[in-house]
Structure 1
Amino acid sequence: MQDIIGRIGMRKAALGVLALAGATILAALAYEHIGGYVPCELCYRQRWAYYIGIPAALVAALFVRSRPALAAGALAVVGMAFLLNTGLGIHHAGVEWGWWPGPAGCSGGVQVSTDTGALIESLRNGQTVRCDEPAFRFLGLSFAGWNAVISLGLAVLAGLGLQRFARRHLAAV
């Protein structure tokens, strides 16, 4: 196991994050635009880690040899983004399981307006997708649950790449 960890450098970690995160966000977008699943407010928030992490992983992969400190910083951003996203995915899954309340705007806590104009406008803008009702479950986990698992894996992968960098570059300090 230690040998495998020792072989995961920053470039391999960054390329792994690029591939896995890219596939994950493309799958989410395909479910939305091809499959017809409409994301809720919390689902959209969970995508930010991918929109930040993928470009940061690309920077890490491109600059690992010429500017290793920049690459390490970018990989640290990747790790932090996906670690935070793990927490957000767990929070969203907990909302779906009813363990704690979600945002009032998408978990059934919305007050219906008695103003006819406001009611008509809200109907025109489409229906609110509830954060507390999972659209899909696979092996007992919803999209939010799987996002938490994948995000944790991506954070660990980034951390493994940083660990090797730290051994090489910070040991001399």
Structure 2
Amino acid sequence: MSDSERPFQLAIFAAIGSAALLAGALGFQAAGYAPCELCILQRWPHLVAAATGLLIWFIGWRRGLALLGLAAALVAMALAIYHSGVELKLWAGPQHCSGGVSGLARMSPQDLMAALESAPVVRCDEVAWSLFGISMAGWNAIFSAGLSALWLASVRGRKAAAGTV
């Protein structure tokens, strides 16, 4: 691989990684692990990174696109860290997906029952699956950090190949 091809290949590899994480999430969902709201939110940056990789594949490596992929991977990592912290009870998650219904004292019994029935079943602060003590959100954070490093290497690789680093 030549120095000029390296940034392109790193970006494509990072985009494939995001696509694989999306496929894994959908696979878990198909296997019966319903996603919580934060799980779904974490998918969007991976979709952006994968789509960015497709653009790079078709139109070629562009620094702006590589920066977009890097930003998407960093956002995915930040959301996954946030979700992991919610699962570990380090901080509170969104009230609507971490239990609790706001305004209980002001509700009639009928309104309370309707609110409880419409409350989401999948909680953001409960771990649905883990491997080696690390939840899906934790694994997403780890893999997203690696993908961020690949995108960063792609961004920096073209500069290094040009001799400006």
Fold-level similarity (TM above 0.5): yes
Asked if the contact 1:10/1:61 (under 8 Å) is kept, the reply is: no
Does residue 144 in structure 1 map to residue 154 in structure 2? no
Q: How many residues align?
A: 162
Whether contact under 8 Å (1:10, 1:162) holds in the other structure is yes
SS at match of 2:91: coil
Taking structure 2 as the reference length, what is the TM-score of the superposition? Answer: 0.85
The verdict on how the C-alpha distance between 1:63 and 1:169 changes in structure 2, with shifts beyond 3 A counting, is farther
Q: Is the 8 A contact 2:96 2:119 kept in 1?
A: no
Report what 2:54 is aligned to: 58
Q: 1:40–1:129: 8 Å Cα contact kept in structure 2? A: yes
- Secondary structure of 1:105's aligned partner: helix
CA-to-partner distance for each residue in 1:26-58, whole Å, 9 max, x for gaps? 1101111x2111111111111111111111111
Asked if residue 20 in structure 1 is aligned to residue 17 in structure 2, the reply is yes
1-structure distance, mates of 2:103, 2:31: 30
Which AA in structure 2 matches 1:136?
W
**Structure 2 stretches lacking a partner, 5+ long:** none
TM alignment of 1:10-159, pairs within 5 A: 10-32=7-29, 34-64=30-60, 68=61, 71-111=62-102, 114-115=107-108, 118-119=111-112, 121-122=114-115, 125=118, 127-159=120-152
Give the alignment's TM-score, normalised by structure 1. Answer: 0.81
Matched, 1:167 2:163: no
The RMSD of aligned alpha carbons is 2.5
Contact preservation (8 Å) 1:8, 1:161: no
Measured in 1, the distance between the counterparts of 2:85 and 2:102 equals: 23
The C-alpha deviation readout for 1:103-140, integer Å capped at 9, x for no partner, is: 11111232376346645655665743111001011111
CA distance in 2 between counterparts of 1:163 and 1:48 reads 25
